Structure 1
């Protein structure tokens, strides 16, 4: 999320095995609270494909969802459902979800039963129990298109043009435990300094 890396002078990411890598911020959109990072560490081995897709829809009211995130030092699984198709005060960029969220869950994916990302967890309202919000996945697509068309960014880092958006999940149809086992290696804790 943009609020996680705002004012950061350095960023590192950590995988579920505890390995840390240097990263740089390549895009920030405070309006949608999205930020994109690129792992720059020479020791990092880039992946060729991701096990999850990114959905162009944001899910349906009552739809079962799950998340993986880092409210602790280890990855944590949570499940819930889509409770409103809009976010705080009717925000159409976001949706409300009924899922446990704690500091450290921000930026974690919200996934549907097929293992497709339908949103990114970004906020919780502390005055209301269970009021958690996620940025809809369509904003990820919009932001990626902005990145790919930013001539200054492309000039500084031509690899941004090669960003591929996963269209389908390779974990569709698997039992949830198997989905989590496949996906958890691709969810990183973001540390900003």
Structure 2
């Protein structure tokens, strides 16, 4: 599907995916911004706290953090990462080390259950190039494999490796013989902005604005129900809780403002029609298509358990998000009679809020120091910043 630049698919932002590249750029920017604070002091290293923390972060006791995700620089020529991992483990943290370019969590979207055997529908752009997914369905976590993904249709079919709880009833499709009616009530349900709002499904009500989509695309409908990053792949429901589409994309307000001289669009969103969704399912898997339910209205209140949070790839993040930190390493090594650092910095983030706690390290070339001194001093500053004794 050749999408207009004024359309953006509804995916989680780079920080909600905790992209390694995004954190590397943010960490380097932080080091540059605090560089003056890390220089000109008698000690080789300094600790620079974030002065603009939210009230949520200020209320936290840093000593309560239990898990640490360690993100490397693009290259580690001095093999610092194993040393840091060991040091953090000795401090009592459960440490997970990520390779360069690996995200802690993949892109996040929504999907929904088809039948009883673990088939789940979502949008292809939620998964990107991943061939697996992590699915949270009715509070239970499953790993799933991609049965088929069609980038042109922007649809993907998953199958969980373990059969879901039989108590969860799949959603029903409305018959394709029943026409769309402009002005009819429609509902979206999914996991928008889950890193901020939490891991409970959210439902939004709107109207069917048009029975066609962008530039009168016959494969889409336009709806006024608000959608946010994370809604992609979720079902569009009618007043009886039956599927009439799959949430796909929203208009890009910035592009529209530029094209119209400043006008901002209001609630212009698009869903793939359920007739095209069913055609995709039929071609993707005969067992999945046979499991599809039609015209079995269960009501909106029963939709929640059948709607899944989807994370691209196999996510290793489990449990309470509030007790985790992310530590990004950046350094520049040089040789001049001996190895030393002209820059060495650890930037520490709260995983739940995505905010920086502090940056610590050496922000300049101290000619009388060496690698061991800088690493040990930085780890000592880290312990001080985390309230460890």
TM-score, normalising length from structure 1?
Answer: 0.81
Post-superposition, which runs of at least 4 consecutive aligned residues in structure 1 deviate over 4 A?
46-49
User: How far apart in 2 are the matches of 1:166 and 1:32?
Assistant: 22
User: How far apart in 2 are the matches of 1:125 and 1:137?
Assistant: 20
- Match 1:126 to one of 247, 252, 268: 252
Change (3 A) 1:36 1:7: same
Secondary structure in 1 matching 2:293: coil
Question: How many residues end up aligned between the 2 structures?
Answer: 174
Secondary structure in 1 matching 2:173: coil
Q: CA deviation at 1:39?
A: 0.8
Task: Please tell me whether the aligned partners of residues 98 and 131 of structure 1 are also in contact (alpha carbons under 8 angstroms).
Answer: yes
Partner of 1:82: 208
User: What are the ranges of 5 or more consecutive residues in structure 1 without an aligned counterpart?
Assistant: 150-159, 172-178
User: How far apart in 1 are the matches of 2:290 and 2:152?
Assistant: 22
User: How far apart in 2 are the matches of 1:185 and 1:129?
Assistant: 30
Change (3 A) 1:93 1:105: same
Change (3 A) 1:116 1:161: closer
Alignment root-mean-square deviation, CA: 2.1
- Match 1:35 to one of 144, 151, 156: 156
Secondary structure in 2 matching 1:129: coil
User: How far apart in 1 are the matches of 2:174 and 2:295?
Assistant: 7
Partner of 2:295: 168
Are positions 1:8 and 2:130 aligned together? yes
Q: CA deviation at 1:162?
A: 6.9
User: What are the ranges of 5 or more consecutive residues in structure 2 without an aligned counterpart?
Assistant: 1-122, 254-264, 314-389
Partner of 2:312: 192
Change (3 A) 1:11 1:161: closer
The range that moved more, 33-42 or 77-86, is 33-42
Q: CA deviation at 1:48?
A: 8.3
Secondary structure in 2 matching 1:142: helix
The range that moved more, 68-77 or 4-13, is 4-13
The range that moved more, 49-58 or 125-134, is 49-58
Q: How does 1:46-85 map to 2 (within 5 A)?
A: 46=166, 50-56=170-176, 57=178, 59-71=180-192, 72=194, 73-85=199-211
Q: CA deviation at 1:61?
A: 0.8
Q: CA deviation at 1:161?
A: 6.2
TM-score, normalising length from structure 2?
Answer: 0.42
Q: CA deviation at 1:9?
A: 4.4
Task: Please tell me whether the aligned partners of residues 62 and 81 of structure 1 are also in contact (alpha carbons under 8 angstroms).
Answer: yes
Partner of 1:154: none
Change (3 A) 1:20 1:30: same
User: How far apart in 1 are the matches of 2:288 and 2:125?
Assistant: 25
User: How far apart in 1 are the matches of 2:301 and 2:207?
Assistant: 21
User: How far apart in 2 are the matches of 1:148 and 1:52?
Assistant: 18
Partner of 2:142: 21
User: How far apart in 1 are the matches of 2:157 and 2:208?
Assistant: 25
Partner of 1:112: 238
